[in-house]
Structure 1
Amino acid sequence: MMAPPAPAVAAGYADNLPPLAMLRLLPPPPVPGGSEEAADRFVYRESRKGILGKDWRRAQGQLGITSPEYVQAVSCALGAVLAPKTTPATMILLRRAGTDLAKAVFTAKDYYKRPRPFSTDGGKACDPEAAVNGGKGLGFAYPSGHAAVGWLWGLILSDARPERSATLLKFGKDTGDLRIACRVHWASDVTGGRLLATALYQQIADREDYKADLLKAKAELSLAPVPEGCSG
């Protein structure tokens, strides 16, 4: 029996943006031996104090953006259950923007090839992949894909629910901060992810297809169920 075909990748909003143009959306990572890299190494050393702590455990629950913990976090920030059945138009909005973001993130990672912090000293990280084959399965460090996704989702969902903007941007920032707590990213990787997400958002926010999808998302979110189990 043949396996079912894999689902098609959603078309992005910025499909006409070539790879080299995507690289121009992001400044390069810190120069080795410079003051910015020294600051990165200081933050990484300090993060040892948080190993097995609260944020470390939270980061372990959010290793993937489809994990139940991550979906719960964004749903709580949004004030609506984010799921294909309850918010399909919102999922399309995020998926299309995510297609653009993935291209930009992986183009930059492959270009800069920055090592992960734990690979420089054999340090402990919250992701089990870090201990397998030198952590190669996690790919390169710069920019942080998690930080970029969290911040882009925060910006887009703030368009859909502006009254939740402060909570959504806090969620977006938290996504990146947890990658530092997990010890899988330098602090500047996280900053770079947010910068890239902001630059990409500026590329797509005025496009007519984005605006059309946004209107659909707004309409369904006004009727979406409120998530349970949210604190605060």
Structure 2
Amino acid sequence: MNLKSFWPLLMAALLVGGCATSPVPTTSPADVGETRPGSGYLKGYLAQAEQPDSLALLPPPPEAGSAALAADVAAFRSLTALQGTPRGALAVRDANLRFPQAASTFSCALGVQISEQRTPHLNMLLRRTLADAGGATYKAKEKYQRTRPFVMLKTGSCTPKEEAHLAKDGSYPSGHSALGWAWALVLTEIAPERTDALLQRGRAFAQSRGICGVHWRSDIEAGRLIGAATVSRLHANPVFTAQMAAARQEVAQARSRADSAPPAAECTAEASVISGAASLAP
């Protein structure tokens, strides 16, 4: 075979091989499967061994009598004072990780309504990264078994029905904060023109856990680190990157439709309550 005939055949083989191995991301929950049967939470993109090691990445939580714990307590007092306010109501909403309700969390920040019907790839992206980022916190959670603030300080939380479960679950780091920050980072790649609004919403989502009284300030900050580490790791997963590309196309197409924007009044109200608490740590 001469070189003139060899190179076209080689390039054709590479193209065919690339097409054969390109992942096709599913939007079917039944195809993905649940983390536990009946839980409603879908499996992530990463195997457990592929998740970031939160125990290796994080220092121990603040010790009793330390300045860091005093800062945690001070933040708890200022944040939980918002319970019963419009910002507190948003914190209650942020506590709900169940889909389809949780799909709308970032709709205002994105400027596009997110749902299984309207944006199936984006909806699946959020559902699966929830498991990845939340699951990555558990090595540290199980090691430290930190007591949650509403238990230690003998107060209530903004989600009383969840208190019995939360009291048995380690507080450090915050799983909600990890997955909320992961969502925010993923969405900034899908819609970079909305970066500021998306990151502000991601920070507020994490801050909501302090307002609810179920996480310390240091839990929330550590959770965001694990969320960022998870997103970095996800970029090596071909199914994740393919689903992100499909979600990016969905959002671009949705922006061309007048009915894709979330209700303006709701988004204005959300932005107002978030900005009102923006000066509070964390």
Q: TM-score, normalised by structure 1?
A: 0.85
- The residue number in structure 1 matching 2:142 is 110
Contact 1:179–1:185 (8 Å) recurs in 2: yes
Match of 2:240 in 1: 210
1:71-124 deviation line (CA, Å, top 9, x unaligned): 434111111111111111112222332222232123322221111101112113
Tell me which residue corresponds to 1:144. Answer: 174
In structure 2, distance between residues paired with 1:181 and 1:223? 36
Counterpart of 2:261 (choices 206, 226, 231) is: 226
Alpha-carbon distance between aligned partners in 1 of 2:136 and 2:213, rounded to the nearest angstrom: 23
What is the TM-score normalised by the length of structure 2?
0.71
**Structure 2 counterpart of 1:21:** 53
196 and 42 in structure 1: CA distance in 2 versus 1, 3 angstrom threshold? same
The CA deviation at 1:22 is 4.3
Q: Matches of 1:78 and 1:149 in 2, distance apart? A: 17
1:38-49 alignment to 2 at 5 Å?
38-49=70-81
Task: Return the match for 1:198 from 225, 228, 233.
Answer: 228
Which aligned runs of 4 or more in structure 1 are off by greater than 4 angstroms?
67-70, 132-135
**SS state of the match for residue 24, structure 1?**
helix
Report how many residues are paired: 226
**Is the Cα–Cα contact under 8 Å of residues 129 and 135 in structure 1 kept in the other structure?**
no
Mapped to 2, the partners of 1:98 and 1:26 lie a distance apart of 20
Cα separation, 2, equivalents of 1:75 and 1:13: 23
CA distance in structure 1 between the aligned counterparts of 2:237 and 2:51, rounded to whole angstroms: 19
Aligned partners of 1:19 and 1:107 also within 8 Å: no
In the alignment, the residues of structure 1 paired with residue 97 and residue 197 of structure 2 have an alpha-carbon distance, to the nearest angstrom, of: 18
Q: Is the 8 A contact 2:51 2:230 kept in 1?
A: no
Structure 1 230/55 Cα, relative in aligned 2: closer, same or farther at 3 Å? closer
Whole-Å separation in 1 of the counterparts to 2:230 and 2:31: 27
Q: CA deviation at 1:24?
A: 2.0
Percent identity, please. 32
The aligned counterpart of 1:76 is: 108
RMSD across aligned positions (CA) = 2.6
Where 1:230 maps in the other structure, the secondary structure is helix
Q: Which amino acid aligns with 1:125?
A: S
What letter corresponds to residue 267 of structure 2 in structure 1?
C
Q: State the distance in 1 between where 2:187 and 2:201 align.
A: 11
Q: Is the 8 A contact 2:52 2:230 kept in 1?
A: no
Q: Which runs of structure 2 are paired with 1:148-159 in the superposition (5 Å)? A: 148-159=178-189
CA contact under 8 A between 1:23 and 1:104: conserved in structure 2? no
Q: What displacement does 1:163 show?
A: 0.9
For the residues of structure 2 that align with 1:103 and 1:34, how far apart are their CA atoms?
Answer: 29
The answer to whether the 8 A contact 2:181-2:202 is kept is yes
1:186 Cα deviation from its structure 2 partner = 0.6
Structure 1 residues 22 and 116: CA distance shift in structure 2, 3 A? closer
